[in-house]
Amino acid sequence: MIGIIGGGLAAAKLVEAYRESGGEDEITIWSQDPHGPYHRPPLSKRLLRGESRPEDALVHPVDWYAENGVQLRLGEKLSSLDDAQAGTVVIATGSRPRTLDGTLALRTLDDSLELRRRAGEATTATVIGGGFVGCEVTASLTHLGVQVTQVVRDPMVFAPLQAPPLSEALHDTFRARGVELRLAATELPPADLVVAGIGVEPNVELARDAGLEVRSGIVVDERFQTARAGIYAIGDVAEFYDPLYRRHRRIEHWSNAAYHGTTLGRILAGEDARYDTVSSFFSEEFGKSFKVFGDASGHDSTSLEGDFHGDSAVLRFAANGHVIAAVLTGQDEAGEEALQAEIRAGAAAVE
Ligand SMILES: Cc1cc2nc3c(=O)[nH]c(=O)nc-3n(C[C@H](O)[C@H](O)[C@H](O)COP(=O)(O)OP(=O)(O)OC[C@H]3O[C@@H](n4cnc5c(N)ncnc54)[C@H](O)[C@@H]3O)c2cc1C
């Protein structure tokens, strides 16, 4: 039996790929959340703006799990790996938001519905944080007619991306839409609603209590296996080995959780798969989206093609003359694939 602890995107993609690859073992998913596995990106975008319904966010309709031989135990939190009583245990517990007293956080479907309800009663909001949750909530609340002040500790939004041309274009867009952006600031103006998007902590406690190695996340190899046979970790909670950059990484994004789940599903069904992709993530503000490919850590130069104020731009990050990562907007599929191939070749060539 396969026991999956955590019922988010990574878990749902695992069972889907496992069955598609012919895996026949019984599967149980335990999830603390009362809802079946769902996509979180709409929670700060379409669902928050009231443009989609909660059921649209589900990865599969809840019946799909029983039809595919998966026991879905919703609203159940496991407090030990042993409680799974399975030969194969997958830790897919994701992460939880850092919280600040007196503020709302956004992680779950119910958080999003509550935030939408509160936004309907608010004239003003303060949003804390300049990462993707902070920026997307700012954009969505503004769209709903709430006057938002966004307070960002760093001198620019998305500071960790080290992509000033993107950040500056976003500053201009936000201000043009009426957002009061306070950069390099920590003081919070009073508002009807205060939302914190100040990062997440991975839910590593079960692994730590079981004596598994935990660094920034639960340490696994490129086949998502911990040092203990039969115990795996995927998604936000995993510090996995990325062979492209020849180091361990932890990524808190949708495509990563989907890819980890799909790949481990194939592995558990007996396929010879491993982590083998150029990582990517996306964010969307005011109807415009951008993507990040690869990992820019250790870059020593950048080059910009196009303009993030316009429809098309690519900011390349290079190390020793080799392209290792990019931030982009407005590229077609062929352009994105070419960029990923360039990054794959470049990262492999860096000494
Ligand atoms: C508002 C919001 C917007 C986002 N937008 C984007 C975006 O635009 N682009 C992007 O790339 N990424 C985005 N993300 C990030 C992306 O959604 C996450 O990276 C992804 O959900 C991670 O999936 P996961 O399966 O690893 O974990 P999670 O989705 O966190 O799921 C883990 C599940 O495990 C459950 N659980 C935890 N501990 C236990 C336990 N002990 N027992 C039982 N169950 C447990 C939790 O309740 C949860 O349901 C967004 C995230 C949020 C919150």
How far is it, in rounded angstroms, from Cα 279 to Cα 292?
A: 8
- Does residue 154 have a pLDDT over 80? yes
The mean per-residue pLDDT over the stretch 317-331 comes to: 98
Tell whether 311 and 188 lie within a shared domain.
no
Measured from the Cα of 260, ligand 1's closest atom is 26
* Local structure of residue 306 (DSSP, 8 states): E
**pLDDT class of 224 with cuts at 50, 70, 90:** very high
Ligand 1 pocket: which of 253, 286, 290 to mutate (most atoms <8 Å of CB)? 253
For the chain, percent of residues with pLDDT exceeding 70: 100
Measured from the Cα of 283, ligand 1's closest atom is 8
Tell whether 65 and 17 lie within a shared domain.
yes
The mean per-residue pLDDT over the stretch 247-270 comes to: 98
Give distance in angstroms: CA of 309 to centre of ligand 1: 31
Tell whether 178 and 233 lie within a shared domain.
no
Give distance in angstroms: CA of 322 to centre of ligand 1: 33
**pLDDT class of 343 with cuts at 50, 70, 90:** very high
**Could you tell me the strand order of the sheet in which 280-285 lies?**
280-285, 288-294, 322-329, 313-319, 301-306
State residue 351's pLDDT score: 76
Residue 77 is assigned to a structural domain of this protein: yes
How far is it, in rounded angstroms, from Cα 171 to Cα 313?
A: 16
Residue 194: Cβ-neighbour burial (10 angstroms; 0-12, 13-18, 19+): buried
Tell whether 262 and 118 lie within a shared domain.
no
214 lines ligand 1 (CB under 6 A): no
Indicate the number of domains in the chain.
3
As a 3-state breakdown, the chain gives helix, strand, coil percent values, each rounded to 5, of: 30, 25, 40
**pLDDT class of 331 with cuts at 50, 70, 90:** very high
The candidate with the shortest Cα–Cα distance to 46, out of 116, 110, 105, is 116
Residue 241 is assigned to a structural domain of this protein: yes
Tell whether 256 and 301 lie within a shared domain.
no
**pLDDT class of 67 with cuts at 50, 70, 90:** very high
Residue 44 is assigned to a structural domain of this protein: yes
Average pLDDT, the chain: 97
32 lines ligand 1 (CB under 6 A): yes
State residue 201's pLDDT score: 98
Residue 38 has which token pair?
């769902």
Tell whether 24 and 149 lie within a shared domain.
no
State residue 184's pLDDT score: 98
Give distance in angstroms: CA of 94 to centre of ligand 1: 5
Tell whether 16 and 66 lie within a shared domain.
yes
Residue 287 is assigned to a structural domain of this protein: no
| Range of the structural domain that residue 326 is part of | 296-349
Residue 289 is assigned to a structural domain of this protein: no
